[in-house]
């Protein structure tokens, strides 16, 4: 599942952004300051980060600039009320990939974030296969023996991660980190519930195997 981090100190806007991006099928975490963003980025992978520039603990472009200096590749979209040309140029010079001035249309922001996430995943094959199971990531379609399967966003995300790691055991904790947001309890049974539904939809012969005490493997037992 594509994951986005929203860093915005205005609570109403932060909630609105999170709701909008989740409605677009993205997994979204949120923070109100740079310190919280730093903790989130240290704990997991994100495909894009949306930073309000002026946060309670500083200007986000300084933080992004520092991380870029250490080779951090994640795409960044800056949000700001500062619309002067010099401000926009500074955003790009300090490591921003896109820059959107407030007020903005939610639909435009969503499209920009989706495009940045797509750029982040450009090195991943657009079609994943195992035996007669085929996933078209661009079209978000999955077929088994040519039959189109109807999957939820979460089922699609879990299956995608298993396909990328075909033949390897994937821990439940890894699935939670990559397919759920940071609020999910790692001890909950959400992974098992989603995998159970996936196995039922994929049908026989079984492709997803439980590895006792570890997680799941797609492919040979």
CATH of the domain at 197: 1.10.10.10
List, for residues 28-43, the tens digit of each pLDDT value.
999 999 999 999 888 7
pLDDT at 34: 96
Indicate the residue among 89, 120, 151 that finishes a domain: 120
Residues spanned by the domain of 204: 127-218
> 187 and 172, same structural domain?
yes
List, for residues 128-186, the tens digit of each pLDDT value.
888 899 988 777 889 999 999 998 888 988 998 898 888 888 888 888 877 776 555 55
Place of tokens 């909008």: 20
Number of structural domains the chain divides into: 2
Provide the pLDDT confidence category of residue 89 given band limits of 50, 70 and 90. Answer: confident
> 34 and 103, same structural domain?
yes
Q: Mean pLDDT score of the chain, rounded to an integer? A: 87
> 7 and 109, same structural domain?
yes
Residue 65, CA distances (Å) to 6, 92, 126, 207 in order: 18, 10, 31, 44
> 134 and 34, same structural domain?
no
Provide the pLDDT confidence category of residue 108 given band limits of 50, 70 and 90. Answer: very high
Question: Is the predicted pLDDT of residue 123 greater than 60, yes or no?
Answer: no
> 108 and 37, same structural domain?
yes
Give the whole-angstrom CA distance, residue 18 versus residue 15. Answer: 5
> 158 and 87, same structural domain?
no
Sheet holding 169-171, edge to edge: 169-171, 215-218, 208-211
- pTM, whole model, 2 decimals? 0.61
Indicate the residue among 90, 120, 150 that finishes a domain: 120
> 98 and 20, same structural domain?
yes
List, for residues 78-87, the tens digit of each pLDDT value.
998 887 888 8
Indicate the residue among 62, 88, 120 that finishes a domain: 120
- CATH number of the domain at 7, please: 3.40.50.2300
């Amino acid at each position: 599942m594509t994951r986005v981090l929203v860093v915005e100190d205005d609570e109403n806007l932060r909630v609105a952004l999170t709701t909008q991006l989740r409605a677009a099928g993205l997994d979204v975490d949120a923070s109100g300051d740079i310190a919280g963003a730093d903790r989130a980025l240290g704990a997991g992978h994100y495909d894009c980060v949306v930073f309000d520039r002026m946060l309670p603990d500083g200007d986000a472009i300084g933080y992004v600039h520092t991380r870029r200096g250490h080779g951090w590749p994640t795409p960044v979209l800056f949000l700001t009320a500062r619309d002067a040309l010099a401000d926009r140029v500074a955003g790009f010079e300090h490591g921003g990939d896109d820059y959107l001035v407030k007020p903005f249309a939610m639909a435009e922001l969503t499209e920009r974030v989706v495009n940045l996430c797509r750029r982040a995943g450009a090195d991943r094959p657009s079609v994943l296969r195992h035996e007669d199971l085929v996933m078209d990531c661009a079209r978000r379609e999955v077929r088994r023996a040519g039959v189109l399967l109807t999957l939820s966003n979460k089922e699609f995300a879990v299956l995608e991660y298993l396909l990328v790691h075909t033949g390897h055991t994937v821990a439940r904790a890894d699935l939670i980190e990559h397919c759920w947001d940071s609020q999910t309890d790692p001890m909950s049974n959400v992974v098992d519930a989603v995998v159970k539904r996936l196995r039922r939809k994929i049908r026989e012969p079984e492709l997803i195997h439980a590895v006792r005490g570890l997680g799941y493997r797609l492919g040979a037992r």
